[in-house]
Structure 1
Amino acid sequence: MAHIQLLNDQLPGIVGLLDYRRETAQPLSALAEILLRGDSTLSSGEREMIASYVSFKNECHFCHSSHGAAAAAHLNKDANFLDDIKLGFVKTPVSAKLRTLLNIAAHVQQGGKKVTEADIAAARKEGATDREIHDTVLIAAAFCMYNRYVDGLGTWAPPGNDAYMPMGEKLAKEGYMVY
């Protein structure tokens, strides 16, 4: 049970929180829409992978699982893909560029000042553009906020990977602008 009385305590994770406070739901949803589905040279699947990876590192089960499921939908993967995210993409082929961006995202998750010149140079060496580096840092920072919002209010989350696959499909097809 959440730490506050939600309007619909049957809605998991951020979904219940967005329903509770619709005036904050709109800008939070708009930010997710821009970051994860907006114009970018990184695919939506890659950006969802970054969001899911940071969320896993933050121990936010709901966000890790829902965004991992969205990445799986974009990339035609099954529910086992969520476990591979936890392992650091050992089974899933990931480009050298994306791997350097995931490293940057992991450093943002630890604290913004953990991102080093060497991290940026490595990403550039693999072909990452300034825009891709910018967006990676912003996705990681935003998901640190979303994760803390979800877990800080004690929302509930279904336990298994399979429970998130329909949500992931819906996010991949319809996006984040529900409010």
Structure 2
Amino acid sequence: MPHIELPTAAPGILGLLQYRPDTARPLRELAEVLLRGPSTLSRGERELIAAYVSSRNDCQFCTRSHAACAAVQLPEGPPLVEQVLIESAEAPLPPKLAALLRIAAAVQKSGNAVTPELVADARAGGATDLEIHDTVLISALFCMYNRYVDGLATRTPTHSAAYRQLANRIAVEGYLADF
């Protein structure tokens, strides 16, 4: 049960966005730019970074919703996403994405945990400065989103179908759509 009274039974961040529409707009816009805007990282890869950080933060709503979004947008689908969330070091990832996930893991711990070596590894794997920048920002943003969702004890659906439905809608309509 949420810590505050929300206007709807919408789960996770969706209920919070409806509660505070004035703060919802910039939060949605930032998610839209980072996860769906033009990038050399695919939408699925960016969603995977969001799911990975959320998993490390133990935010079930964000993990499950962004894992579902990654799964519908990555050619390897759910098996790869599940493997990354269970043991990223063992997942069959391209070197660039593996290195970016190591940066994401460092950001999840502390911004100061991102070392020159992690950045050098990402560059050696083919990551651009913009991809490194966006990985750090996606990771930092999801640390904030995760704390927002869990800090107010929002509803978390238990059925995978709810997350697949949300993922399919986001894949088509994006983060600016009303849910």
- Asked if Structure 1 and Structure 2 have the same fold, meaning a TM-score greater than 0.5 normalized by the shorter chain, the answer is yes
| Alignment correspondent of 2:115 | 116
Does residue 1:53 correspond to 2:52, yes or no?
yes
Q: Structure 1 residues 158-167 or 78-87, which shifts more? A: 78-87
Does residue 1:38 correspond to 2:27, yes or no?
no
User: Could you tell me how far apart the structure 1 residues matched to 2:44 and 2:91 are?
Assistant: 12
Does residue 1:150 correspond to 2:139, yes or no?
no
| Alignment correspondent of 2:6 | 6
Aligned residues: CA RMSD: 1.7
User: Could you tell me how far apart the structure 2 residues matched to 1:3 and 1:48 are?
Assistant: 28
| Alignment correspondent of 2:170 | 171
TM-score normalised by structure 1 residue count: 0.93
Could you tell me how far 1:172 is from its partner in structure 2?
A: 1.1
User: Could you tell me how far apart the structure 2 residues matched to 1:65 and 1:169 are?
Assistant: 13
Q: Secondary structure at the match of 2:87?
A: coil
Could you tell me how far 1:163 is from its partner in structure 2?
A: 3.0
User: Could you tell me how far apart the structure 1 residues matched to 2:80 and 2:160 are?
Assistant: 9
Does residue 1:24 correspond to 2:16, yes or no?
no
Could you tell me how far 1:86 is from its partner in structure 2?
A: 2.0
User: Could you tell me how far apart the structure 2 residues matched to 1:145 and 1:128 are?
Assistant: 24
Structure 1 residue runs without a partner (length 5+): none
TM-score normalised by structure 2 residue count: 0.93
